[in-house]
Amino acid sequence: MEYSARPAVFIINSLEGGGAERVMVKLLTIMQSYFVVKRVPVHLILLDDLPESQVCPEYVNKIVLNTEGSLVSGYKQLKPVLADLNPEYCFSFLTRSNFLNVTLAKRLKFKAIISERVNTTSHLSGGLKDSVSRLLVRLLYNKADSVVAVSEGVKADLIDNYAVSTDKISVLYNPYDIEQLQAQASENVQDLPAKPYIIGVGRLVKNKNFSLLLNAYAKANIAENLVILGVGDEEANLKAQAKELGIENKTQFLGFKANPYPYLSNAEYFVSTSNAEGFPNAIVEAMCLEKAVIATNCESGPAEIIAEQYPYRVTGASNEKNGILCELNNAEGVASALSSFSDETVRASYAAKSKNCAKQFSYNAFQEKVIAIIEKVCE
């Protein structure tokens, strides 16, 4: 192909694993048609030479540096590569890549688009190294041409605590392949629980607060069984709690499932009682499978998905636009929500709302938002 435009460059620390790396590869895959039509050459630069668990699309030219996690080494290695490529813009994920992107943008005359995938304040809450990183975020992020946050909660943190101006920051939710999820959900599994049942999915750790779900389920005394998917160091405690509450015969712990979607698809509805989320993927996946959702109002994500508002406060249980949002650590509130979903009409109404809500997380919606971000900085 003959190219007619300056290159687009994407930068990330590595493709070793994790959510940000997966989203970077999804972004490049989703954007292929746009770049082909625009005849834009695309390069992906990895700062570190590490084993790769994500596969870069074939149309993208991958360049692997070996900075060994060092900002100084990253600057020295990245500068000549970018000077040679002469990109129109660089789009980076993760803090170190973002620092280098902003630092080099003015010197090499390209536009810097940076994306923050985590809540900066909670993620950088450790010792001296994190203190330096927070200072650099404050100094550098507002110098970017565009700042992209993964959620409204992350956006608010950057505005309130790191001096990022509201006119240059936008929210780009993670993309979900709704058709692929539905295809996975239709696969046959041998140990599907007897219906009807409700479901919770996640690691069995204190932060996910399955203890609250068990307490609320016992209080609600609903007809449906409770199925929990996941493993973790709280498993024995949770099983003991279920026995103590007298619900062990109605509660099934099915462990980790590589494909949880058939279990989710066959459930009556989905419940999350987590204390904290970066972005609640399980809630969106349940919505993609047209499941009604009950969730606690933890930081960050549930309120902006279910109520489409952030920040947002609820007491007890609150019927919202796309589901029922419950107060944190309030078993009575969650029990009330469970009882309200015993009404099939209410449940069906919220299932329809979930289906509609899921559209904003589709690949098409994601592509439209990325194009808008790119074209705004390139005006």
Q: Which residues contact 110 (CB under 8 A, 6 or more apart)?
A: 9, 82, 86, 87, 88, 89, 90, 104
Inside any domain, residue 66:
yes
Predicted local distance difference test score (pLDDT) of residue 105? 97
- Give the chain's residues under pLDDT 50: none
Same domain assignment for residues 95 and 208: no
Q: Which amino acid is at 132?
A: V
Q: What is the pLDDT of residues 296-310, one digit of tens each?
A: 998 778 999 999 998
- CATH number assigned to the domain comprising residue 217: 3.40.50.2000
- 186 shares a domain with 171: no
* Residue 287 near residue 354 (C-beta atoms within 8 A): yes
Whether residue 234 is contained in a domain is answered as yes
Q: What confidence score (pLDDT) does residue 121 get?
A: 80
The number of domains in the chain is 2
pLDDT at 207: 87
Q: What is the pTM of this model?
A: 0.82
Q: Classify 374 as helix, strand or coil.
A: helix
Per-residue model confidence (pLDDT) at position 379: 84
Please state at what angle helix 152-162 crosses helix 128-140, rounded to 10 degrees: 90
- What's the confidence (pLDDT) of residue 278? 67
Residues 170 and 182 in one domain: no
Are residues 356 and 367 located together in one domain of the fold?
no
Same-domain status, 356 and 281: yes
* 62/168 same-domain check: yes
373 and 324 together in one domain:
no
Whether 184 and 195 map to the same domain: the answer is: yes
Q: Do 163 and 135 touch, CB atoms closer than 8 A?
A: no
pLDDT tens profile 19-34: 789 899 999 999 999 9
Confirm if 146 and 376 have CB atoms less than 8 A apart: yes
pLDDT of residue 342: 95
List all residues 6 or more positions away from 368 whose beta carbon is below 8 Å from its beta carbon: none
The predicted pLDDT at position 92 comes to: 98
Expressed as residue numbers, the domain containing 39 is 8-175+362-377
Domain check: are 330 and 192 in the same one? Answer: yes
